[in-house]
A and B are shown apart, each in its own frame.
Chain A
Amino acid sequence: MIPYKSPLATVVPSRLEVRLEIAKALYTLLEDGDEQLRERRAEIASIRQGLAEIAHEIAKFRRAAPAPILSELRKYGYNPEEPRIPKHSTGGGRWTDNGTQFAASGMDDATSILRSRGGHHFVPRAVYTNLPLKPETKKVFDDARTGPLKGARHGWDAEHDAYNQAVADALKKFLARSGIEPQDMTPEQALRFVFDVIGSNDPRIHDLNLQLYRREILRYITPFVPYGPSRN
């Protein structure tokens, strides 16, 4: 029987000088590798630092960006502190108790919704123009508007009509609930009614107001995109 002889044994040089040469070569290769490794590590550190700076900028932007958007939304009566139905419940995200919100917001916040210049009247003029309101009460309805809108083409939809009818219904109920006639309505009651309209869960009211906010925000983000009847 021929005894087993490992082939590895045959490739290891038997002479010490040769082994020393090989060891030197390996050492040199390792040194080069270390140098490359150091270079790669420096590059990675530099990239990490760059990423950290970008992340910092993004975080800064995320903190700062909502401010102008919220400022615009507040013009239209949006209040982020207002109580809402929880996200995953029916009607989630919608405003809940208008009266509470109104009372909690205080008069300064409440009157910030009044703007005498342009835009959509929360209480349509058709609803109150012919009512025998006090001038100061009528002024509240006159001034409760979104502020100038930036342009959208009307189509043949019935949303405005439904909105007007819904607000008229709501005003009749409000007057009945308060036990007053139109001529007795005070400016404070008018303002409370305006907030009822803004926070209404009636889809005829809610949907049109929401559509307006959305479109104005889109206009803010994409100022040159045309909005026609089919893109309202």
Chain B
Amino acid sequence: MTDPGRDPQYEQQVKTFDSLVQAVNAVLEQYGKHDSLDPGDYSVYEDYWGFRQVKVSIANLKVLEPVVIQRLQQVIRTYPEWEIVVAVVHRPNYRDWPEMGLYIRPHEIIDGLQREYFPKEFQNIEYEGARRGTVND
């Protein structure tokens, strides 16, 4: 079994991943509080799983505001071939809401939000240039 950790291409991907995580955190910390020992508004998953993605879990819908997503798309535009996966989570009863979220890519946003579950003030959130899609897009 080849150890991907000893593959220079993989090492480069890890470096890019770490840099992207830092950039995503830099944006999100302006709009909410990161999880710590106590729950916050969002969490950035900081382990590279071998796929060109950074995953963010958002528990506070305020962090889903279009301005935040727009800023994240600006970040990802400097990382071609990478994407940010935003999962919207309902704590602590995760199963009360179906799996939903966004894929933020340099050229598009895939919108898989199921707004009917949101409180009224968040049901009209729209993202410029987004298209509706599924988790498999």
Chain A CB within 8 A of B88 CB: yes
Interface centre among A147, A155, A156 (most CB of B within 10 A): A156
Task: Tell me the A65-87 residues at the B interface (CB within 8 Å).
Answer: 68, 72
> Contacts A157-B87, A158-B99 hold; do A151 and B36 have CB atoms under 8 A apart?
no
Question: How far, in angstroms, from A155 to B85 measured CA to CA in the complex?
Answer: 7
Q: Which residue of B lies closest to A162 (CB)?
A: B94
Contact B135 A158 (CB under 8 A): no
Chain B CB within 8 A of A129 CB: yes
Task: List the B side residues contacting A182 at CB < 8 Å.
Answer: 37
Chain A CB within 8 A of B12 CB: no
Query: Which of the segments B41-49, B60-68, B69-77 contacts the partner chain?
Result: B41-49
Q: Which residue of B lies closest to A148 (CB)?
A: B5
Distance from B95 Cβ to chain A, minimum over Cβ atoms (Å): 9
Q: Which residue of B lies closest to A118 (CB)?
A: B5
Query: Which of the segments A9-17, A24-32, A45-53, A164-172 contacts the partner chain?
Result: A164-172
What does DSSP make chain B's interface, helix, strand, loop or mixed? loop
Q: Out of A126, A128, A156, which one reaches B99, CB within 8 Å?
A: A156
Contact A158 B87 (CB under 8 A): yes
Question: How far, in angstroms, from A54 to B91 measured CA to CA in the complex?
Answer: 56
Q: Which residue of A lies closest to B53 (CB)?
A: A154
Chain A CB within 8 A of B16 CB: no
Question: How far, in angstroms, from A68 to B135 measured CA to CA in the complex?
Answer: 35
Contact A152 B91 (CB under 8 A): no
Chain B CB within 8 A of A149 CB: yes
Chain B CB within 8 A of A177 CB: no
A-facing mask of B29-62, CB < 8 A → 1, else 0? 0000011111100011111111101010101000
Contact B55 A126 (CB under 8 A): no
Task: List the B side residues contacting A127 at CB < 8 Å.
Answer: 35-37
Question: How far, in angstroms, from A145 to B37 measured CA to CA in the complex?
Answer: 19
Q: Out of A124, A126, A148, which one reaches B10, CB within 8 Å?
A: A148
> Contacts A118-B14, A156-B135 hold; do A168 and B37 have CB atoms under 8 A apart?
yes
Contact A120 B47 (CB under 8 A): yes
Question: How far, in angstroms, from A158 to B92 measured CA to CA in the complex?
Answer: 10
Chain A CB within 8 A of B100 CB: yes
Task: Tell me the A118-157 residues at the B interface (CB within 8 Å).
Answer: 118-121, 124-131, 145, 147-157
Contact B100 A156 (CB under 8 A): yes
> Contacts A161-B91, A161-B94 hold; do A124 and B4 have CB atoms under 8 A apart?
no
Q: Out of B36, B43, B47, which one reaches A130, CB within 8 Å?
A: B36
Interface centre among A129, A152, A154, A164 (most CB of B within 10 A): A154
Q: Which residue of B lies closest to A131 (CB)?
A: B37
Question: How far, in angstroms, from A131 to B14 measured CA to CA in the complex?
Answer: 24
The 5 closest A-B pairs by CB, nearest first: A151-B50, A156-B101, A148-B5, A161-B57, A158-B89
Known interface pairs A119-B47, A158-B89; 15 further A-B residue pairs with C-beta atoms within 8 A, sorted by A's residue number: A118-B4, A127-B35, A128-B37, A130-B37, A131-B36, A145-B47, A152-B49, A152-B50, A154-B53, A155-B101, A158-B87, A162-B94, A164-B35, A165-B35, A172-B37
Question: Which residues of chain A have a CB within 8 Å of any CB of chain B?
Answer: 68, 72, 117-121, 124-131, 145, 147-158, 160-162, 164-165, 168, 171-172, 182, 220, 228-230
Question: Which residues of chain B have a CB within 8 Å of any CB of chain A?
Answer: 1, 3-5, 10, 14, 34-39, 43-51, 53, 55, 57, 59, 85-92, 94, 99-101, 112, 135-136
